[in-house]
Copies of this chain bind each other. A is one copy, B any other.
């Protein structure tokens, strides 16, 4: 410990409880841990030195970026013997290449900073999510982040073209070279994406950029239900190629919660509709504005009675206002009190039936509970939240029913071939449910890989990989 303190200096090493405190709990304040020290290396050499010393001393390391995990994936255990390894000082964008369409960003770069840097060279990094001002590249990679543009560009996995990491052995993996094609064996980059820091510390990445957006069109659609929504999505995709970037679905009760609880919001359409869709289409610089095409397609859909009503934003301010409705759902829900939340996915074609059947099944099994389900319809990813009965003590209901609700929802998803973690990961909050549902084949393979690359078990223990029985 003294050796680390000397090597890292005062900026890179602290045991001061006040300095450590903000980073020892997850951002939603559900899990509180302890750490032997907070290490903040300035470069990959220092990360290597830390991992090597930790390996020698058999001390656990918990990597942390923006600490915005939804599953407490970056919060140390309460034992207090682990080293909290913050990547926040490693926040350089090492290079930006418009020729390669690649940015090399260190793990501590904040997502919105990368957005701005890419825009300055006429490109963009096509992954965005609510926490973009907090979440950092290393965490976004380690959790294979999703967000609102997966429909067109995929998750983080498909945007990572190179990785630099320090492996649990203390060796440095130099995989930054941005090769679009490289068939030299098992793809270690892909293995580190979504590994939640359990196979090593991602220190930097080469990330794919795409042309800047020239124009975007944002529309709000009211329609009867998810089957019509899916038909609309496929029709828009067929007619516009890959210009549809977002296709977010919200039921009437989600929109109502936003209008009720978020100041300054107003209903985008005159009537109410069982389901609402937010659509965004984009076009590159120099190409025709997608607004005419989208307006025409939605008009035709209304004539065909596929949809009930629609409005296309006439200005950037209107577009922002529509997006705010979607992005405020989580906040609006919090105002209404606690809920049992689930981040699940099923095959896209199964979403319509799933939404109807899961809601009915849950509300029947848990009397008085109310389902509020919304999400990324085109990705098959539903944020499926179960609210306590009206008038119930929410916290007490969650305490007594939460685990049963979680198991019920996860099993419902599981038998339909779905996932209990579409985009948030496993961390520690979903570990027990993952262990319960994963099945032996997947569990054995994960445990074998973990053991192979981290035989000492020092990298983010207690996260993602259920311990062998």
Q: Which of A78-86, A310-318, A343-351 contacts B (4 or more CB under 8 A)?
A: A343-351
Q: A238-B211, A238-B285, A347-B179 are in contact. Are A172 and B426 (CB under 8 A)?
A: no
List A residues 408-425 near B (Cβ within 8 Å): 417-425
List A residues 129-177 near B (Cβ within 8 Å): 143-144, 146, 150, 154-155, 157-158, 167, 169, 171-174, 176-177
Give CA–CA (A205, B203) in the complex, Å.
33
Give CA–CA (A104, B211) in the complex, Å.
32
User: In this complex, what residue of B is CB-closest to A448?
Assistant: B452
Check A6 for interface membership: any CB of B closer than 8 A.
Answer: no
List A residues 439-466 near B (Cβ within 8 Å): 440-442, 444-446, 448-449, 451-453, 464-465
8 new A-B pairs (CB below 8 Å) besides A180-B379, A185-B446?
A144-B187, A177-B419, A180-B381, A185-B194, A185-B465, A186-B199, A188-B442, A449-B452
Q: In the complex the two chains form, is B449's CB within 8 Å of A287's CB?
A: no
List A residues 278-316 near B (Cβ within 8 Å): 283-287
Q: In the complex the two chains form, is A184's CB within 8 Å of B442's CB?
A: yes
Q: In the complex the two chains form, is B191's CB within 8 Å of A195's CB?
A: no
How many chain A residues touch the partner (CB < 8 A)? 90
Q: A239-B286, A347-B100, A452-B452 are in contact. Are A187 and B194 (CB under 8 A)?
A: yes
User: In this complex, what residue of B is CB-closest to A98?
Assistant: B234
Give CA–CA (A132, B423) in the complex, Å.
35
Q: A143-B183, A173-B445 are in contact. Are A242 and B239 (CB under 8 A)?
A: no
Check A45 for interface membership: any CB of B closer than 8 A.
Answer: no
A419's contact among B182, B285, B347, B424, by CB below 8 Å, is which?
A: B182
User: In this complex, what residue of B is CB-closest to A152?
Assistant: B242
Q: In the complex the two chains form, is A144's CB within 8 Å of B183's CB?
A: yes
A193's contact among B187, B348, B424, by CB below 8 Å, is which?
A: B187
Q: Which residues of B contact A194 (CB under 8 A)?
A: 183, 185-187
Give CA–CA (A417, B174) in the complex, Å.
10
Q: A100-B348, A449-B449 are in contact. Are A183 and B230 (CB under 8 A)?
A: no
Q: In the complex the two chains form, is B183's CB within 8 Å of A241's CB?
A: no
> Which are the 7 A-B pairs with shortest beta-carbon distances?
A177-B417, A452-B452, A99-B349, A448-B452, A182-B419, A181-B422, A190-B190
Q: Which residues of B contact A38 (CB under 8 A)?
A: none
Check A240 for interface membership: any CB of B closer than 8 A.
Answer: yes
User: In this complex, what residue of B is CB-closest to A238?
Assistant: B211
Q: Which residues of B contact A182 (CB under 8 A)?
A: 345, 419, 421-422
